[in-house]
Amino acid sequence: MISLRRAILGTVAGLAIFSGAQAADLPVKAKAVEYVKICSLYGAGFYYIPAADTCIKLGGYLRVDAALGTNADYLGNFNVSSQGANGARNRLTNYYSTRAREDFNIDTRTATEYGVVRTFFDGAFSWTTGNYVGSNSGTGQTQYSGTLGAGTNPVTGAATPYGSGSGSVNGTDGNAGGGALGVYYAFIQFAGLTMGKALSQFDAPWSSYPGNNFDGLVGGGGTVTGVNQFTYTADFGQGVTASFSAEDVTQYYQAGNVNITPGGAGGYGLFSGSYGNTGSTGGTRSPNLVAMVRMDQAWGLFQASVAAKDNHVGYYGASEPTGHPDDKWGWAAQLALSIKNVPTGTGDTINVQAVYTDGATRYNFQNLAGSTFAMYGSSGVVYQSLGIGQAYDTVFVTGSQQETVRTWGLRGAFTHNWDPYWNTAIYGAYAGVQYGSLAKSTICSAGFFGTLAPSAGLAGCNPDFNISQLGLITRWTPVKNLTFSADVLWTHLDQKYSGTVTPAALIAVPAKPVAAYEMKDQDSVVLLLRAQRNW
């Protein structure tokens, strides 16, 4: 019995030793490697770049649009049909435009002994419906001007409509793989400095979108696609900051310095909304100088901004000996106010701004809104009606100095949240234009209107005009980051001419004949339908 017990104990001991040896030979389970490490220093969505001390956040959206009663440029900015083939509002005008867009942005941040170094890039890939640009062929047929090699018009042999591969426009079957890349923002921030393409320091934080989707609101600045700048921002604490900026004038801030001397474009230019030689602006000599003060609080924000613009003209004529006017500085001032969580509901917001410009028109008629209006409509008196308006920075005549054009404007919106899924905004804008005595006396002179038939009956002549806009947008967000919206906008051109005018020759508007036109206010209504998925 004792021998049996010893044998059993010996066996158990041997098994225990063997098992322990086997366990020692097994690999120890390593701690899981964290390939993507969360960076909590700068908010949600940031991660450390592997093997680096830099945090990165990726974002963007995919958007699909359909717009009725408007025109889209090659990047898909939806504007009022206010000039050219679209202002003509005839059979050469697109009744609708469509767009698909993918936006992609990269935000990186690195902590240093001097503070955070930040870089930000935002680009968009867009495919947009083509924009027809018609012209009269002189053979009784209407042709399309363009340079695509996708085919020809079987009737006239003319080039096909402009399409995606044709520089400034998009959209034909012959170029199905085309489209456009837009670089919105690309800047570096360090130690209070912002260097690169960013929202103008003059603009309100909502830029030209106080509550809307529509691109073409007047009544304030609008560099939603960014402007090259060198800016210093001082932070005084308690939500108070001040910025001083030098911003590029070339791309977004040239409304035109125009020689309106009679004998040039003259009254002929009225039919396309032009008063003179729009190529009179000279090369750049100074960036726009901007200063801004902002107070951000829990209740909202208040901002005051000013800008100065150097109006630098080329020559009176085509060559240097013709002389030139001196440079003239223009300026703009703007106040903006945002009130959050108003008593009408949780998250309800009011955004308003007011602006005044003198020789710096683009701070009111922002780049996407444009400042040229030549809109045709019906008339119960003559062939058709025409409403025109053109807002330049300055005008001059040969031998004179520049005279600034003054404008003022308002823009605002009230957004109400019905529930977590639905909200509606009512928004509006207004801009007025006032020319000086030199412009009015020259434009309304007999010499300027020499290309119009004397018996046409121009009863009133005044280049001043106003633009009024009123819109309504409703958004539905059934799930997080997916929104469907419908945005309708009415635009009214209040022009100050009266009577009728007649061109002496074919006018530079597609398919419009030599006939009498009644000078009359015009209206436009556009509808923008959108589906957008943010990520």
**Model confidence pTM above 0.75:** yes
- In 3D, which of 68, 64, 65 has the Cα closest to residue 525? 68
CA distance 35 to 12: 45
Q: Going by C-beta distance under 8 Å and a sequence separation of 6 or more, which residues neighbour residue 177?
A: none
CA distance 391 to 434: 9
Does the residue 58 lie in any domain?
yes
Q: Which residues does residue 58 pair with via DSSP β-bridges, in sequence order?
A: 106
Q: Using the predicted structure, report yes or no on whether residue 102 has a pLDDT greater than 80.
A: yes
Asked whether the beta carbons of 79 and 491 are under 8 A apart, the reply is no
Question: For residue 318, what is the domain's CATH number?
Answer: 2.40.160
**Residue 8, burial from CB neighbour count under 10 angstroms (0-12, 13-18, 19+):** exposed
Q: What's the pLDDT at 35?
A: 67
Last residue of a domain, one of 134, 156, 191: 191
More confident residue, 467 or 263: 467
Mean pLDDT of 406-432: 97
Q: Using the predicted structure, report yes or no on whether residue 424 has a pLDDT greater than 80.
A: yes
Q: Are residues 392 and 455 in the same domain?
A: yes
CA atoms within 13 A of residue 201's CA, in its CB half-sphere:
30
Cα-based angle 482, 486, 489 (whole degrees, multiple of 5):
140
Which residue type, as a one-letter code, is found at position 47?
Answer: Y
Does the residue 292 lie in any domain?
yes
**What is the 3-state composition of the chain as percent helix, strand, coil, each rounded to the nearest 5?**
10, 45, 40
Does the residue 370 lie in any domain?
yes
Strands (E) across 322-456 are located at 328-340, 349-358, 372-377, 384-390, 394-396, 403-404, 406-417, 422-434
More confident residue, 89 or 18: 89
The DSSP line for 154-207 is: TTT-PBPPP-TTSSS----GGGTT--EEEEEEEEEEETTEEEEEE--TTS-TTT
Q: Are residues 465 and 336 in the same domain?
A: yes
Q: Are residues 231 and 100 in the same domain?
A: no
Which residue type, as a one-letter code, is found at position 323?
Answer: G
Phi, psi angles (nearest 5°) of residue 414: -120, 120
Q: Using the predicted structure, report yes or no on whether residue 398 has a pLDDT greater than 60.
A: yes
Cα 126 from chain centroid? Answer: 14
- In 3D, which of 492, 471, 368 has the Cα closest to residue 73? 368
Q: How many domains does the chain have?
A: 2
Per-residue confidence band for 459, with pLDDT thresholds at 50, 70 and 90 = confident
Share of the chain above pLDDT 90, in %: 59
More confident residue, 94 or 355: 355
More confident residue, 154 or 202: 202
Mean pLDDT of 275-284: 80
Q: Using the predicted structure, report yes or no on whether residue 117 has a pLDDT greater than 80.
A: yes
Terminal C-alpha separation, the chain: 78
More confident residue, 450 or 171: 450
Cβ neighbours around 366 below 10 Å, total? 30
Residues 194-214: tens digit of each pLDDT: 999 999 999 999 999 999 998
- In 3D, which of 404, 462, 408, 406 has the Cα closest to residue 430? 408
- In 3D, which of 63, 58, 123, 68 has the Cα closest to residue 483? 63
- In 3D, which of 197, 196, 193 has the Cα closest to residue 184? 197
Q: Are residues 185 and 223 in the same domain?
A: no
- In 3D, which of 279, 359, 276, 286 has the Cα closest to residue 314? 279
Q: Which two tokens stand for residue 417?
A: 């949240």
Q: Which two tokens stand for residue 123?
A: 């680009």
Q: Are residues 246 and 303 in the same domain?
A: yes
Residues 51-95: tens digit of each pLDDT: 899 999 999 999 999 988 876 554 445 667 677 677 788 887 778
Domain boundaries, position 290 = 216-535
Q: Are residues 226 and 173 in the same domain?
A: no
CA distance 324 to 394: 14
Q: Are residues 459 and 346 in the same domain?
A: yes
Does the residue 204 lie in any domain?
no
Q: Going by C-beta distance under 8 Å and a sequence separation of 6 or more, which residues neighbour residue 113?
A: none
Tell me which DSSP letter residue 327 carries: P
**Residue 35, burial from CB neighbour count under 10 angstroms (0-12, 13-18, 19+):** exposed
Q: Are residues 449 and 494 in the same domain?
A: yes
Q: What's the pLDDT at 176?
A: 56
Q: Which two tokens stand for residue 97?
A: 């435009």
Mean pLDDT of 478-502: 95
Q: Are residues 146 and 180 in the same domain?
A: yes
Q: Which residues does residue 334 pair with via DSSP β-bridges, in sequence order?
A: 305, 355
Does the residue 377 lie in any domain?
yes
Asked whether the beta carbons of 519 and 267 are under 8 A apart, the reply is no
CA distance 169 to 164: 6
CA distance 497 to 520: 7
Q: What's the pLDDT at 129?
A: 75
Which residue type, as a one-letter code, is found at position 151?
Answer: G
CA distance 7 to 14: 11
Does the residue 152 lie in any domain?
yes
Does the residue 208 lie in any domain?
no
Residues 381-390: tens digit of each pLDDT: 999 999 999 9
Q: Are residues 107 and 158 in the same domain?
A: yes
Q: Using the predicted structure, report yes or no on whether residue 433 has a pLDDT greater than 70.
A: yes
Q: Are residues 335 and 472 in the same domain?
A: yes
Q: CA 267, 268, 274, 275 torsion: positive or negative?
A: negative
Per-residue confidence band for 23, with pLDDT thresholds at 50, 70 and 90 = very low
Q: Are residues 248 and 118 in the same domain?
A: no
Does the residue 499 lie in any domain?
yes
CA distance 92 to 484: 30
Q: Which two tokens stand for residue 264?
A: 């040039």
